[in-house]
Every structure is written in structure tokens, then in C-alpha cells.
Structure 1
């Protein structure tokens, strides 16, 4: 856990303003290139993904919140929004009000995180989910059709068929092509999400960003940014190991169609799983704190 996420009951103006500035500067390094591309009408299959796939908008990511249970001295309510209220000590989040509105969501997120954390990590998928998303498609049908595939359509299909598909993540599986779905060893659904997700999955670890921002402003913005940083790195591996040729963008392929490439992928996958573990633990702790406060 970084020092920035340590919870303090009351923050004086210099302290919270320093934290807010550090958060904004960190996020701006991610946002500036994306916003420039958006103004220019340029799309990037790696760097823009987190801003297009997830519902958290750039301005929301940049906006700093201290989290539940923190009071800010000398803070302007207009800068923080309708969920904050003034007290005799300073400005604080209306934790009870926000928590009551989101009680079902907090419980659902906590249950998923706990279930995922309680399973052993699996590392045998070799990134075939991205290949299943292009299986038996023409170039025109590809999601990122501005970029070529590294292999021929026949070689791409054979890679899927030889390595098989072991995807446990519903939100990846739902983008599979129709011919690819029967090849998956599992049939994940939204209803079975809590039963299937496991901590070795790239997309389950990328989704820690989703669960963090869905808990905002009840959790510190530094935690949301930490989850975003992990998701950004995971997305890079995801596309390096995909069938797309993105070398021209500076992403050398991880050739999972070869034994060496699969070993490289698994090593990176293990590293991401290790990085995700403390983030998942922090999110569970935040949920527990919110639930405990509600019970009290």
C-alpha cells in the first residue's frame, strides 16, 4: 500500500491539496495523449481501450476524492460535488447516503472479489481469448481492422484450434465469434461470474479498475489510479499476445503460437497476478469497512 492511500480522519488544506495535485499530475500523463488523439480523430487499439471499453470518463478519473471517512479543512463544496457536506470541522463525503444508494453494488463487488481471491490462479489460457475474437473472420470484420493480423486466417484459426480456449471471463467470452464459442472449455455467463473468475486471468485483473471506480467516491482516488495503472499494463500484454500485428505502434508481439511465446506470456501473467493481489485485497478491505460501518 502506498503512503497516498493511508486514511486520515482530518486533512489540512496543504495536505489534501498536495494529494490532489499529485493525483491529477499522474492521471494527466495518461489522459493528455488520449485526448489529443480524440481531437485528431486518431484511434489507438492499446492506449485508448480503457477509455472506450470502461464507462469511467477521463474527467472522472482525473477528479480526486479522499474516500469515505475523511474530512477536508478549507475545502470548497463546489469543487467536490453533491455527495459532500459541510461540517464544523470541514468538508466530508456523505458516506451514509452514498453507501445506502449503492449497497447492492458494494455487496456484489465484494462477493466477486472475495470469490476470485479465494481461488488458485490458473495460467493455461495463453491469451487465446483475443484469438477467439477474430476466429474465422475476414479482415473487414475484425474489431481493429485498421491493423493486420500477424498470421494468415488459416494459421490464426489453427492456433485457436491447437491451443484450445480456456477462458473463464464472461466479458471476454461475450466477444468471441460464433464459431469460436463452442471451442471454449467453459460457458461463462453473467450469472456464473462469481463462480468462474480467478486471479490469474488478465481480464479479471484488468477489471479491478472497474470495481475501484464503481466504488468511487467511497474509495480514495489513488486506489482507482493504481488499478488503472495495472489495467493499462495488462492491456499492453493482452494486445502484444493477440493475433494483431502492432509492431508499427511499438508493441513487439508475444508469439503465443510458439512454445517460447507461451512461456513468455505465462511469466508476464504471473507477474500481473502478483501485482493484482494487493489491489484486490485493498478493495476488499474498503468494502468490508463500508459494510462494517453500515452494520454499526
Structure 2
């Protein structure tokens, strides 16, 4: 950043950001979040729903106001920390002139979550990605339901109820993600090749799964403030992009909202879906690695910053 002092690297890898730099990073982050959340907040004020974009703010528990707070992440200290809002936030400590994450307090409070998330991410990343599901989980969620009973009842089924049921019946469903599977209709549950449970989550998740990719956002925000806001937003943006494919390949007709369908009932649609799924898997694997590195850094328990 031109005109700003360069960050100083102290012994053992603790990085100090000068006050002008962390203030500029804060402003840049707030602008990024505003662009990502403004439409949702406007709809919320007007009591309007969006079947695609609201998902990241309703299914996941992290609110726009929480997302807006800028966190530097583990291993970074803020010079002039006595003037930083972080000094009053949970899991921060002020050492002299520096505000930083209190890693000991965070690990003590969130140790179980850290262990679960690291195990899940590492085991998911180590499996071969599968790209043959074609988004049929969304179809299984409306299988044999009446028009008023489907989740997004304000939007028509692209092939109608009978056509939607026929797609489900002509395919083998093999959903490995519990938080998608648990919304299947009772008739669709019997058609799934797997029986995922919360307990078997770490045994079944694989890096080609769209929902496993979206959930990287969940794991990132659960580890705030140890996870930097840059990483949280990278995970948010992946989840947003995946959600678009998820609903373009769903049985709903959302063309009025600008979502051209991926017709997974056709060979061309299947090929398009798998190609986009592969690209998301690559992005997701890189983010998994970054999240694992954060957890490992916390376990290493970096010491407090001292001036040279």
C-alpha cells in the first residue's frame, strides 16, 4: 500500500501492523462487506425474500454486523492498539501498545471446536472429489410434495411436480452431506445410496460436495477472531458463488431473478454442472488448507509480541 509503513516481522513470526495500515485494511474490509450485504439488508428492511441470496444470512448464523467487523487473525498484532476497537472485543488483549488475539483464551474456550473443525477439514481434503451428484439433493427436497409444501413455494418448479419427480426417479441419488440429506422428503430418503448422520459427517464429506464447500464459510466464522476477516470473506464469496450453482441446478424456475437454469436432466446440463463443481472444489481445497493452517498456528500458541 503506497505511502504506508511496511509491517514489521518480529521473532517467531508475529507480525505487527502499523496503525495507518490496519485502519486502511479495516476500511477496505467494510467496503467489501457492504457490497456483499447491502442488497440483503435492503430486502430485509422491505420484508422481501430472495430464494438464492438470503441463504448465506439465514441458514448460517453469522450476521452482517458481525461480518463487518475487521479482524487481523492469529499471529498479527496492531500497533496503537489502545486506540483500536479490538481492545474491548472478546478474545483480544492489549500488550503495551499492541492489541492482539489472546490465543490462550481462545483455545481454552473453543478447543473442542478447533479439534472438530481441523479433523473434518483435513479428512475431507484427503478424499477424492466426486462430481456425479448433479445437485439432485435439491430435487430430493421437493420429491412428491405438493406445490404449497416445497421450500420456495413462491417459485414454480421448472418441470412441474410430475416432471420433477420423474427426474428423481430416473437417477441414483448419492448425497454424502448430512445438512442437505436431512431436508430430503421421507420418500426421497429411501432413494439415497448413503445414510449420512451428524456422527458420520467426518467419515463421509468429500471436497466435490457443494455443501461442504459452502460450509467452509461456517467453519471460518466459527473460528473468528482467530481467522482473519480476509479469509472469512474469501469463504463467504465461495459460498455465495456455490449457492448460485446450487439453485441454478435446482428444480425451481428462477429465470425472473436472472438465474439461467443448469438443466441437469440433460447430458449437456450434467457436463456444465460437473465442470463448475470441479472449479469450486479447487477453490475449496485451497481455503481448507488456509483454515487448517490457522488452527495449527493456534495450537503452536504464539507468544506475545515484544518490541525489538
TM-score normalised according to structure 1 size? 0.95
Distance 1:260 1:215, change over 3 A: same
Identify if the C-alpha distance between structure 1 residues 31 and 8 changes in structure 2 by more than 3 Å, giving closer, same or farther. Answer: farther
Displacement after TM superposition at 1:30 (Å): 1.0
Deviates more, 1:56-65 or 1:78-87: 78-87
**Match in the other structure for 2:81:** 75
Match of residue 38 from structure 1: 44
Show structure 2 runs of 5+ residues with no match: 1-8, 303-308
RMSD: 1.6
Match of 1:51 among 57, 69, 73: 57
Q: Which secondary structure does the structure 2 equivalent of 1:163 belong to?
A: coil
TM-score, normalised by the number of residues in structure 2? 0.91
Larger Rg: 2
Counterpart in the other structure of 1:218: 226
CA shift for structure 1 position 77: 6.3
Quickly say closer, same or farther: Cα 1:164–1:205, change in 2 above 3 A: same
Match of 1:64 in 2: 70
How many Å apart are 1:75 and its aligned residue? 3.1
- Unaligned runs of 5+ residues in structure 1 are 1-5
Which runs of at least 4 in structure 1 moved beyond 2 Å after TM superposition?
75-78
Q: Would you say the 8 A contact 1:115–1:195 is kept in 2?
A: yes
How does 1:202-217 map onto structure 2 within 5 Å? 202-217=210-225
Cα distance in 2 for partners of 1:281, 1:85 equals 27
Deviations 1:210-234 (A, max 9, x none): 0100111011110000000000000
How many aligned positions are there? Answer: 290
Q: Does 1:250 align with 2:229?
A: no
Query: Does the CA contact (< 8 Å) of 2:144 and 2:187 recur in 1?
Result: yes
Cross-structure match for 1:188: 196
**Which residue of 2 is the match for residue 142 of structure 1?**
150
Q: Structure 1 240/267 Cα, relative in aligned 2: closer, same or farther at 3 Å?
A: same
Q: 1:184 and 1:34, CA in 2 relative to 1: closer, same or farther beyond 3 A?
A: same
